[in-house]
Amino acid sequence: MLFIEPHAGPAPVIQFVRAARGPLDINTYLLTDRRILSSVRAAVRRGVRVRIIIARHPYGGRPHGELTRLRATGALVRYAPPRFTTHAAGDGRRYVFDHAKYMVSGDASEIGTANMTWSAFHRNREYLWVGHDPRISEALRTVFQADWTRHRAGPGPRRVLVLSPGATGALVRLLNAPGRVCVESEEIGRDRPVLSALRAKGPAADLLLPARLNRSDRRIAYRVARRGVHVRLLRTPYLHAKLIADPTQAFIGSENLSPTSLTRNREVGLILRRRAARRLYAQCQRDFARGFRP
């Protein structure tokens, strides 16, 4: 089932946690929403083993007591593996994160674009998918267990998930599919294969970005617009979504269209088809119609 924020609020996440009867694994960049924290605490009290992986340095800073608050729920909590942690490289900073946003319990799984924060469910455009597909759940468990134990997940999950590092190819294939495509992304960045695919798509691509773009992303947006891509900016809701959609297939997940997100971070996404793809494409078109030209 597909949920669109900010309309659905935190209810899909809370209901997922409440429904868990077996072990529950959560990987999220941020988890600060009080109602979700309360639902995790209640799950632990009824005997559910909850494990949570969070980013060590969200937004390049410190987690401001997030680890302590999460452990106070009774959940087992760990920071992401060191290879998904901000670190210095040369004379600058190389920002690498565990930026994934998913949950898995039994054959149930949730994958989306939303951090588990108040803003995600009340101010942002976000997408969440909740379903019962054993293949997806098993792939998510494999990724979670690998990151929990500081190992590699191997190639298996990539048959089901759009997984970073290494997500570029899957997204470029969507951009290269015949027909129109609608794209929403909080960031665009300088990923060459993605930019080449957008430029090749030209007028058949609608690209929506948040109004609050940094200078670098704004310059890139101007450049793809000169190649015919229809580019617009959205003021409200805040565009935190990550979406590539046509009427037959659509990607949602944690990946932005930037080199760091696609080639360095831990990111998790999913390709949806049929009714979910049509809904996502239609929502993207509605958002695009409300945007303004940069």
Map tokens 């690209």 to a residue: 207
The pLDDT value recorded for residue 119 is 96
- pLDDT for 93 equals 56
- Listed residue (246, 259, 257, 238) closest to 206, CA to CA: 246
How many Cβ atoms are within 10 Å of 148's Cβ, its own excluded?
Answer: 17
Provide the residue count of the chain. Answer: 294
Q: pLDDT digit string (tens) for 163-199?
A: 999 999 999 999 999 999 999 999 999 999 999 999 9
Task: Give the other-Cβ count within 10 Å of 286's Cβ.
Answer: 10
> pLDDT (tens digit, 9 = 90+) per residue, 275-286?
999 999 999 999
pLDDT in tens, 80-99: 999 998 755 554 556 788 99
Average pLDDT of the chain to the nearest whole number:
94
Which residue type sits at 75?
Answer: A
* pTM of the entire predicted model: 0.94
**CA pair distance 98, 105, nearest whole angstrom:** 20
Closest-CA residue to 159 (of 143, 177, 178):
143
According to CATH, where is 3.30.870.10 located in the chain? 2-160, 168-290
pLDDT tops 50 at residue 139: yes
pLDDT higher than threshold 80 for residue 64: no
Tokens of 165: 């590092």
Please tell me the CATH superfamily of domain 2-160, with its number: Endonuclease Chain A (3.30.870.10)
Does position 63 have pLDDT exceeding 90, yes or no?
Answer: no
Longest dimension (CA), the chain: 57
Where b means 16+ CB within 10 Å and e means fewer, 234-261 reads: beebbbbbbbbbbbebbbbbbbbbbbbb
Q: What does R_g of the chain's alpha carbons equal in angstroms?
A: 18
Q: Are 242 and 99 in contact (CB under 8 A)?
A: no
What is the enclosing helix (H) or strand (E) of 131? Answer: strand 124-132
Whole-number pLDDT of residue 114: 97
Instruction: Tell me which architecture the domain covering 168-290 has in CATH.
Output: 2-Layer Sandwich (3.30)
Q: Which residues pair with 132 in a beta bridge?
A: 108
What angle (nearest 5°) sits at the alpha carbon of residue 237, between those of residues 234 and 240?
Answer: 80
User: What is the Cα–Cα distance from 255 to 112, expressed in whole angstroms?
Assistant: 10
Mean pLDDT over 154-160 rounds to 96
